[in-house]
Amino acid sequence: MKVLITGAATGIGRSCARVFASKGYDVVINYNKSQAEAIALQKELSSEFTGEIAVYQADITDSCQVEQMFAQVGDVDVLVNNSAIAQQKLFTDITDDEWNKMINTNLSGAFYCARSSARGMIRKQSGAIINISSMWGICGASCEVHYSAAKAGIIGLTKSLARELGLSGIRVNCVAPGFIDTKMNQNVDSRAIQDIVDNTPLARVGTPEDVANVVYFLASRQSSFITGQVITVDGGFLMK
């Protein structure tokens, strides 16, 4: 079994790579700029687990690079669309370039990767695609309009693909993390973090491993009758 994880060098993607490797998968670690982290992760996982661990550099906002990546990697059994960027900024201050970069990275990239991976899955009549959204894609976040819009688009992409690809034996699901302790969130104000924790029933921030375990479940046979779903991993934040 082979999984390709976009943005797998750090954060949630890194934890996903570790979980899949621990389950015997061949893992393709996609990265764009984090070469040192990707190579270090490859060496780490190769020393601990028996599956083949590969790294592949590709900018997922470029559909040609995505096509080349899948042509080189070959068919995958599981795709995890994890790669993303974030930015906090007043709506009225978001530039056209910032909007386009956010949409291209967080939504268009997932579309390109899903399109490329689905061809092989359709031939084999099996496969799983797991898209990483965000709780802000469900409820929206102030000063993160472009991020929230892109992550809401991921949810729409998931539900549409689940309907279209279901008859080909392909399951498509979405994980919507809450506030997770990753490099992406290092610049968030401590008071804002505390406010989130105070409004989270489990009273803590999440870990990348919390998300990775759910991603693996959605790829496994134990979720064989689950598709088109959005699973929140947010400590109960959206329950209120």
Q: Is 65 exposed, middle or buried (0-12, 13-18, 19+ CB in 10 A)?
A: middle
Under a CB-based contact definition with an 8 Å cutoff, are residues 85 and 105 in contact? yes
Active-site residue flag, 147: yes
Contact 117, 171 (CB under 8 A): no
CA 212 to chain centre: 9
Of 73, 74, 78, nearest to 20 by C-alpha is 78
**CA atoms of 213 and 166, how far apart (whole Å):** 23
Select which of 56, 112, 147, 216 is catalytic: 147
Residue carrying the six token digits 């929230």: 148
- Catalytic residue numbers? 147
